[in-house]
């Protein structure tokens, strides 16, 4: 399988490693465009990675060398650069995977979809869908494991590090909606992925630390499953990496905590209503369903795209839906 990777940073390496480890392709079939590869960039986070493969065996090419059609094109550069790669090279990919967020706003997402064509095999990298805990939680919700849903609570927070304000990750041009855009798009997508009949009712934002002119800490309120309460917090100022999803129903509850790396291992816990009646206490009655380092999510997402026609993976329509919600939330800030 012929592959083109545009951007071989942290996530690009994760994708490349997954392709090689899963046997989808081999080194000689992978072309890479990354003018910044190997340079000392002012970027964040500085994460130790398990990307153990020999980058010297990859084919680094110049942009003028793109002539052939690739079975898969992966675009994993900073947001603006990714958009430019997509605009320039989309005709060369039979299947395209662009890391979130497929544009910087709703208007641009619609324009990109129209440019590329609505019937193209284009997917957007939102690997949180492929966390084992998230997959099990979705199954439990829609199989009625928790009874009627009372409340859903989503929380995703980043702390970044000193000097982050000077990197592309907090650049106002790269994340024009601040925390609502990144990391918020992940949680907006998970809300769409895990719920039904969701309506956002109110939102509140705080800013004042990074001073970039965008929201840094956001709380969203809504309704889901027609009558259930929904809350979501996304933040770039938590100082502790945080990822939790809590679902409460009339028969019990499910709690996801962590997503690997600095967040700690992901755990998924189920609890029954009044479980303490048959145990020492409520905590003792809870079931630890899984513990995961979440390292397989990138590979699982690629496998779903390449072998199962992207049955779970996010596509352009999913991102247009997410941008529609984010656009509405932005308007609520000004009320």
Domain boundaries of the chain, sorted by first residue: 3-99, 129-294+314-333
Q: pLDDT for 236-266, tens place per residue?
A: 999 999 999 999 999 999 999 999 888 889 9
* pLDDT value of residue 50: 57
Q: pLDDT for 282-295, tens place per residue?
A: 999 999 999 999 99
> Looking at the whole model, is its pTM more than 0.85?
yes
* pLDDT value of residue 39: 56
Q: Please state the rounded mean pLDDT for residues 62-81.
A: 89
Burial class (CB in 10 A: 0-12, 13-18, 19+), 48: exposed
* pLDDT value of residue 297: 95
Question: Tell me: domain 3-99, CATH 1.25.40, correct?
Answer: no
User: Tokens 């962590």 label which residue?
Assistant: 258
Residue 44, pLDDT > 50, answer: no
d(CA 267, CA 165) in angstroms, rounded, equals 31
What is the maximum span of the chain, computed from C-alpha positions, in angstroms?
Answer: 69
Pick the CATH number of 129-294+314-333 from 3.10.129.10, 3.30.360.10, 3.40.50.300, 3.30.1330.100: 3.30.360.10
Q: Which of 50, 131, 51, 102 is nearest to 304 (CA)?
A: 131
pLDDT interval class at 48 (50, 70, 90) = low
Cβ contact 285:275 at 8 Å: yes
pLDDT interval class at 49 (50, 70, 90) = low
How many Cα neighbours within 13 Å face the side chain of 23? 0
Q: pLDDT for 88-147, tens place per residue?
A: 999 999 999 999 989 999 999 999 999 998 778 999 999 999 999 999 999 999 999 999
Q: Please state the rounded mean pLDDT for residues 52-58.
A: 85
* pLDDT value of residue 198: 96
**Whole-number mean pLDDT of the chain?**
93
231 has which bridge partners? 153, 221
**Token pair belonging to 129:** 């869908």
């Amino acid at each position: 399988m012929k592959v083109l990777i545009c951007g071989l940073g942290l996530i690009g390496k994760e994708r490349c490693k997954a392709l090689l480890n899963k046997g989808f392709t081999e080194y000689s079939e992978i072309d890479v465009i990354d003018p910044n590869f190997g340079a000392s960039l002012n970027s964040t986070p500085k994460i130790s990675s398990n990307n153990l493969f020999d980058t010297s065996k990859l084919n680094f090419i110049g942009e003028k060398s793109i002539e052939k059609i690739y079975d898969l094109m992966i675009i994993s550069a900073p947001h603006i650069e990714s958009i430019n790669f997509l605009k320039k090279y989309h005709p060369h990919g039979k299947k395209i995977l662009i890391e979130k967020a497929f544009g910087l706003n709703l208007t641009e997402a619609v324009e990109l979809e129209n440019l590329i064509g609505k019937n193209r095999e284009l997917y957007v990298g939102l690997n949180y869908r492929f966390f084992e805990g998230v997959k099990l939680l979705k199954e439990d919700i829609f199989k009625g494991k928790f009874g009627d849903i009372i409340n859903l609570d989503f929380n995703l927070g980043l702390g970044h590090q000193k000097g982050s304000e000077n990197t592309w990750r907090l650049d106002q041009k790269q994340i024009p909606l601040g925390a609502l855009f990144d990391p918020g798009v992940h949680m907006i997508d998970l809300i769409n992925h895990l719920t039904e009949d969701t309506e956002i009712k109110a939102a509140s934002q705080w800013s004042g630390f990074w001073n970039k002119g965008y929201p840094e800490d956001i709380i969203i309120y809504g309704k889901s499953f027609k009558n259930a309460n929904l809350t979501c917090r996304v933040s770039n100022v938590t100082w502790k990496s945080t990822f939790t999803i809590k679902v409460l129903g009339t028969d019990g509850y499910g709690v996801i905590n962590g997503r690997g790396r600095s967040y700690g291992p992901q755990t998924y816990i189920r609890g029954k209503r009044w479980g303490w009646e048959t145990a020492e206490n409520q905590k003792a009655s809870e079931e630890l369903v899984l513990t995961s380092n979440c390292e397989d999510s990138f590979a699982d997402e690629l496998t779903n795209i390449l072998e199962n026609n992207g049955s779970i993976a996010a596509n352009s329509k999913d991102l247009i839906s997410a941008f529609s919600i984010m656009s509405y939330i932005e308007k609520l800030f000004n009320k």
